[in-house]
């Protein structure tokens, strides 16, 4: 794979000393950009994900506008259960909606470990088109949800503040839970390997709901499956693991073979360094709601954040996805504050 012209992100992932931290934003391809909203007005959510021309266009929109140091492929974590024969819809005002959630062992009969090239081939096509549009300027990130996070939707059937039904299945029918988690893990490994073969430079795992579990249950129902994925992928591409609310597992994650760990905004940079052992690249952790501050304040807070983490072994990012109501000028203030940073 040829190295992008701007390889700052890849160098930071490798732990090399850099002139300034690289910057990108989770969910940068999407909902806060007017050019994205134009596409959204014409095509429904999964049409955008499943049409390579649209997905690739959405991926490069923020790069054209702001020149971040990495692009992240526009897609969704729930294309994985779709490929596994679990129906997923995107419902207006509800978000993800799975009409037939998994409740017991019998429900597993319909859940397959698919041929990802058949069921998710459109993602590989989107990678091809995106790489063509990026013209080697910046690296491309591919991603997947953690098995636990995907499991939460598959069992709960929709988003939730507690994912009580997902947890109930783990605690009342652990063998069913582990079988489903195992199938999601196998599918995810095949999916990410296909993405790397198609040309993404790195992969990120999003454990959005890991913080719902106690530290002990996290090890059993989330981390062991994430570790399996990291082990399967780390020789093929750098892996970033982002667990929202999972500060308690940073020490375990740091020894996993991952190249970087994402950190949310509930932890200060010094504590994140301490918990992760100080030797691994960290990514984060600006509170997305902080982008509603005036641009001058954003700039000041971003510089404070970089000083806290240190410029090396660090990737500037948000502590979760950008909010849809963030003004474009404020997103730009965040990016520019990192790009102009010097010690």
- Reduced to 3 states (helix: H, G, I; strand: E, B; else coil), residue 323 is coil
Is 28 marked as binding a ligand?
A: yes
Is 56 marked as binding a ligand?
A: no
Is 15 marked as binding a ligand?
A: no
- Candidates 153, 84, 150; CA nearest to 119 is 84
Is 232 marked as binding a ligand?
A: no
Taking the alpha carbons at both ends of the chain, their separation in whole angstroms is 32
The string of DSSP letters for 49-117 reads HH-HHHHHHHHHHHHHHH--S-EE----TTHHHHHTT---EEETTTEEE-SS---SGGGGGG-----HH
Is 283 marked as binding a ligand?
A: no
Residues 189 and 150 sit within 8 Å (Cβ to Cβ) = no
Is 30 marked as binding a ligand?
A: yes
Residues 10 and 202 sit within 8 Å (Cβ to Cβ) = yes
Contacts of 97 (CB under 8 A, 6+ apart): 88, 89, 90, 91, 157, 158
Binding residues: 27-31, 46, 76, 153, 208, 320
Binding residues for substrate: 27-31, 46, 76, 153, 208, 320
């Amino acid at each position: 794979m040829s190295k992008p012209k701007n390889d700052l992100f890849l160098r930071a992932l490798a732990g090399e000393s850099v002139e300034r931290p690289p910057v990108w934003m989770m969910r940068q391809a999407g909902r806060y950009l007017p050019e994205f909203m134009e596409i959204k007005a014409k095509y429904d959510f999964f049409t955008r994900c499943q049409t390579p021309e649209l997905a690739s266009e959405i991926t490069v929109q923020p790069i054209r506008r702001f020149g971040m140091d990495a692009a992240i492929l526009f897609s969704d974590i729930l294309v994985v259960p779709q490929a596994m024969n679990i129906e997923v819809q995107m419902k207006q005002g509800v978000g993800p909606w799975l009409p037939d959630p998994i409740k017991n062992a019998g429900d597993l009969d319909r859940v397959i470990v698919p041929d990802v090239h058949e069921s998710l081939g459109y993602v590989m096509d989107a990678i091809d088109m995106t790489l063509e549009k990026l013209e080697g300027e910046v690296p491309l990130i591919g991603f997947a949800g953690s098995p636990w996070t995907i499991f939460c939707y598959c069992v709960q059937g929709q988003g939730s503040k507690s994912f009580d039904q997902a947890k109930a299945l783990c605690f009342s029918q652990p063998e069913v839970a582990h079988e489903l988690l195992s199938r999601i893990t196998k599918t995810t490994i095949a999916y990410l390997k296909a993405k790397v073969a198609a040309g993404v430079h790195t992969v990120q795992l999003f454990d959005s709901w890991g913080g719902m579990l106690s530290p002990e249950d996290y090890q059993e129902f989330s981390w062991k499956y994430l570790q399996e994925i990291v082990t399967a992928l780390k020789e093929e591409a750098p892996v970033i693991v982002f667990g929202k609310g999972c500060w308690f597992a940073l020490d375990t994650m740091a020894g996993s073979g991952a190249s970087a760990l994402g950190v949310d905004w509930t932890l200060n940079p010094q504590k994140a360094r301490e918990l992760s052992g100080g030797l691994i690249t960290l990514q984060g952790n600006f509170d997305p709601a902080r982008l509603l501050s005036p641009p001058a304040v954003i700039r000041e807070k971003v510089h404070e954040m970089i000083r806290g983490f240190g410029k090396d072994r660090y990737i500037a990012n948000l502590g979760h996805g950008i909010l849809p109501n963030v003004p474009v000028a404020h997103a730009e203030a965040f990016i520019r504050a990192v790009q102009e940073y010097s010690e």
